[in-house]
A and B are shown apart, each in its own frame.
Chain A
Amino acid sequence: MDYIRDFFVNIARSWTAWISTFLPDWGVSLVNYIVVGIILVLMPVLATLTLTWMERKVIGRIQNRIGPNRVGPWGIFQAIADAVKMLIKEDIIPDRADRPVFNLAPILIAGAAGLLWAVMPFGRRMIGADLNVGVLYIVAVGSITTVAVIMAGWASNNKFALIGAFRVVAQLLSYEVPMILSIATVVLLAGTMRMMGIVEAQVIPFIFILPVAFIGYFLAAAAEVGRAPFDLLEADSEIVAGYFVEYSGLKFGWFYIAEYGNLFAVSAITATLFLGGWRGPFANAVPALGPLYFIIKTILVVFLLMWIRGTWPRFRIDQMLAFAWKVLVPASLANLLWVAVVLKLPLPAPVQWILMLGGNLLILFVAATLLGRAAKRDAAKHSLTPAAV
């Protein structure tokens, strides 16, 4: 029974005990690193196989369709069929492409998607490496994606690909700022950058204390992974399909896997930073429940992102960038300073939390009001009043 209670950690212990009977100490660490590494690196692939199916089903239901239903029961093998297709599809490299850079870009982007999982806390003592700089590591790994996108756009020698790449980069850069500021607010409240420390600091999930930081991070994350309504990077009807038009076969497949891997990763980060990560009822007594809670919360965030995609129209790029710089950045900065102010007030923690929540709601209200006014002014300027339409 005790074995079951902390099932995953005990399995790992038994495994380590077994291999240490015939391996030296450094060999045990090496083997463990490699095993954990392989499991975590496969997360984006796993995410693609499950989330593409889930997304098709969810979007299908939202649009009053059934979704995939041919390959296997309820179409669950659809993703496998897609994977096989990617694998056996002919690979086409355009004539004047910069070949080494062209081939390197998908490898970099998929590798970066895998790297994110090194610091993800699945449960108590279930983390690849609990780095001192945990959350900042995640942001830093994200910058590899920026470089890979530019490489793909440049190397394809295609105007659409290059325009797409620049749009993506402008979007990634613009939304990284509110993302960093939201994370900084969480770090300020938790007092640590360790992923485990942030989870342990959430006596109540931070979403109930810092809704502005949650919304800022959530929208920024949706933009970073190019989810609708921020999916301008592959606005099919405007710039063909973005920076990876020229890619086919598995090279395209890696971009696809990176996209879904990043979707899953940012949902997991949202769950960790704002929804309490692996914390939940009885998670302290039965640590094996931790990963379950973590996955459920992550899937919940994924579902939220799919729901938004199914129901919201796409933004224009000017609206999108203006939203990042003129709404999210000032709101996140105000939130950061407000949390800092409240933390210095000589009050018990629960009162501080209520004050923070109050300030957050005020910021939300002000931002929403100003946004509404700006939208009305913009509509009037383009004479798009309901009467005119």
Chain B
Amino acid sequence: MLSQYAFIGIFAIIAFALPVIGLVLAWLIRPKKPNPAKNSTYECGMETFGDTWVQFKAQYYLYALIFVVFDVEAIFVFPWAVAYNKLGLYALVEMVLFVFILLGGLLYAWQKKALEWR
């Protein structure tokens, strides 16, 4: 098993090295003539004002929140799905219960308009 992950490890090194090599190559051959106007932030040709404080909406956080719940659900569902053929009827009943509880949460979020983009 570990030899497979040794491959994944070497693979990861190569995968992240490739863009670095590309960037170094580009750095060697590209022109470098910076000037203040070129380096200023691009916002519709106007001077940038203030810091980058976007009016960050709590809505983004709500989506991330519901996502977390379903993501954690996934790590329960996958082992269950792999083992399912060897398990009895109880596996079905218990997963149905598990999913329905979550579905209740989703319906609540829906009802409270937490899924609405505002």
Contact A180 B117 (CB under 8 A): no
Q: How many Å from the CB of B56 to the closest CB on chain A?
A: 7
Which of A7-15, A29-37, A218-226, A370-378 makes up part of the contact surface? Answer: A29-37
Contact A177 B30 (CB under 8 A): no
Docked pose: A340 CA to B93 CA in angstroms: 10
Q: How large is the interface on B (under 10, 10 to 19, 20 to 34, 35 or more residues)?
A: 35 or more
Which of A41, A139, A191, A326 lies in contact with B18, CB distance below 8 A? Answer: A41
For A322, give the chain B residue with the smallest CB separation.
B115
Given A87-B26, A111-B18, A343-B84, A325 contacting B78 (CB threshold 8 A): no
Contact B78 A136 (CB under 8 A): yes
Contact A340 B3 (CB under 8 A): no
CB < 8 Å A-B pair total: 206
- What chain A residues lie within 8 Å of B60 (beta carbons)? 166, 169-170
Contact with A along B1-16 (1 / 0, CB 8 A): 1011111101110111
- What chain B residues lie within 8 Å of A92 (beta carbons)? 34, 38-39
Contact A333 B103 (CB under 8 A): yes
- What chain A residues lie within 8 Å of B63 (beta carbons)? 170, 173-174, 321
- What chain A residues lie within 8 Å of B14 (beta carbons)? 34, 37-38, 41, 114
Residues in A198-246 with C-beta less than 8 Å from chain B: 240, 245-246
Given A95-B41, A251-B23, A329-B106, A162 contacting B11 (CB threshold 8 A): no
Q: A188 at interface (Cβ–Cβ under 8 A)?
A: yes
Q: How many Å from the CB of A313 to the closest CB on chain B?
A: 18
- What chain B residues lie within 8 Å of A191 (beta carbons)? 81-82, 84-85
Q: How many Å from the CB of B36 to the closest CB on chain A?
A: 8
Contact B78 A318 (CB under 8 A): no
Given A107-B23, A111-B19, A158-B52, A129 contacting B92 (CB threshold 8 A): no
Number of interface residues of A (CB under 8 A): 84
Residues in A66-97 with C-beta less than 8 Å from chain B: 86-96
- What chain A residues lie within 8 Å of B18 (beta carbons)? 41-42, 45, 110-111, 114
For B87, give the chain A residue with the smallest CB separation.
A344
For B16, give the chain A residue with the smallest CB separation.
A111
- What chain A residues lie within 8 Å of B36 (beta carbons)? 95
Residues of chain B whose beta carbon lies under 8 Å from any beta carbon of chain A = 1, 3-8, 10-12, 14-16, 18-20, 22-23, 25-27, 29-34, 36, 38-43, 48, 52, 54, 56, 59-60, 63-64, 66-67, 70-71, 74, 77-78, 81-82, 84-85, 89, 92, 95-96, 99, 103, 106, 110, 115-117
23 A–B contacts from the bound complex (CB under 8 Å): A33-B6, A34-B14, A41-B11, A87-B25, A87-B30, A90-B31, A91-B27, A110-B15, A118-B11, A158-B48, A170-B59, A170-B63, A173-B67, A177-B67, A180-B70, A191-B84, A318-B116, A318-B117, A321-B63, A325-B106, A329-B70, A336-B99, A344-B92
